[in-house]
Amino acid sequence: MSAETLPGPRAYLDYAGFAPVDPRVLAMMRPFLEAGIGNPSAPHSLGAEAREALDVARVKVARLVGGTASGVLFTSGATEANNLAVRGVVTANGDPRAAHVVASAVEHVSVLNACRDLERLGARVTLVPVDAEGHVDPADVQRALRPDTALVSVSAASHEVGTLEPLEGIAQVTRRAGVPLHVDAVGALGRVPLAAESLGVDLLTLSGNDLYGPPGTGALWVRPGVRLRPLVLGGAQEAGHRSGTENLPGIVGLGVAADLMRGDAGHGESERLAALRDRLLDGLAASIPGCRPSGSRRRRLPQHASVLLSGVKADGVLLDLDLAGVTASTGSACASLTQMPSATLRAMGVCPDEIQGALCMTLGRWSSAVDVDAVLERLPPIVARLRALSPGER
């Protein structure tokens, strides 16, 4: 399958915003969308078959996560999983007014907003700073801990700039202190080495669509013994942590997608994507004056290319790119609706002019050199034209 056939003739570089569902995933989901499948909670034979399908998917996801299958709780996506992790742990341990939460300043908005909601309930939150590349220093996490710290939440990698966080060092800090560690692994899982149980992670978030699975699916892996208060009450599905009839077709698709990601990891997919990423970043730096990568070049997601462009505004660049047949983004799709300046880039100390020109390009399973060449051909003249129209903004 080529970039010309999926997702279409465009050069598609917004896999972090929405990844096309793999046709192999769709093929396995189809029987569960048609007649003859029961409710997993039903006592009859069709219900038993549905429960078995859930169990198989749980095992597949657990293999990708690197943890026990019993710890996999299926959700509607990463946002719900992040909320369940942050709010579920803190409220399960009693009065949130007696709790303290540590998170990095560059977490996904679903984590940061969950922390702000806890603050309104009386909890205290400490946001750990990052350096100019977006790295969290484990020593800063250590200094942020207090006797009442109930949770530490640090993403595996920045959603906006692709910087990989030093999870091993952070996990050592939290394990010594006996504080649960939550990791939002969206973007990193299946692309960089990450085994939750052996690493010392206590809760891990994943998204189905990030794995080329169905949108509206996700999971939270929870280490046995970690207490959670459910956000959704009802029939006590998912071991009582997430009530509601399970999205069986979507969960089956998520399991297949997890298996396919494990296969990719063993066949050099990350190395292929990293080579395309470097070709793109190097080509843009050489062809556009005032263009530089955001985030780390050395410790970076293999599929993630983000740049800062001075003298232009990203919305105008993206519009012209779209008209030229290239799909990209400014970073977090979930935060783009608010039109607020990037909290991640501000935390990294990026100047306002460069923040306005921040672009994010993410590659995926169907990306090729054709897509990279399309960006290198079309983006430089777009930037030059927009700068010429607004010389005072240089």
Write out the catalytic residue numbers.
334
Angstrom distance (rounded) from CA 337 to CA 307: 21
The two three-digit tokens of residue 337, written as one number: 């609706």
CB atoms near residue 380 (< 10 Å):
17
Angstrom distance (rounded) from CA 218 to CA 211: 10
Q: Name the residue type at position 352.
A: P
Q: Which residue has the tokens 């054709």?
A: 370
Angstrom distance (rounded) from CA 362 to CA 162: 9
What 117-121 contacts at long range (C-beta under 8 Å, 24+ apart), as own/partner pairs, is: 117/87, 118/86, 118/87, 118/90, 121/96, 121/97
Angstrom distance (rounded) from CA 19 to CA 1: 15
DSSP result, 192-219:
B---HHHHT-SEEEEETGGGTS-TT-EE
Angstrom distance (rounded) from CA 214 to CA 26: 8
Nearest to 81 by CA among 192, 170, 210, 235: 210
Angstrom distance (rounded) from CA 1 to CA 6: 7
Angstrom distance (rounded) from CA 269 to CA 273: 6
What kind and span of H or E run contains 175? Answer: helix 167-177
- Going from the C-alpha of 339 to that of each of 79, 80, 160, the distances in angstroms are 19, 22, 15
| 342 Cβ neighbours under 8 A, 6+ residues apart | 160, 330, 331, 332, 335, 350, 355, 358
Determine if the peptide bond prior to 302 is cis (ω within 30°): no
Number of H-type helices and E-type strands within the chain = 14, 12
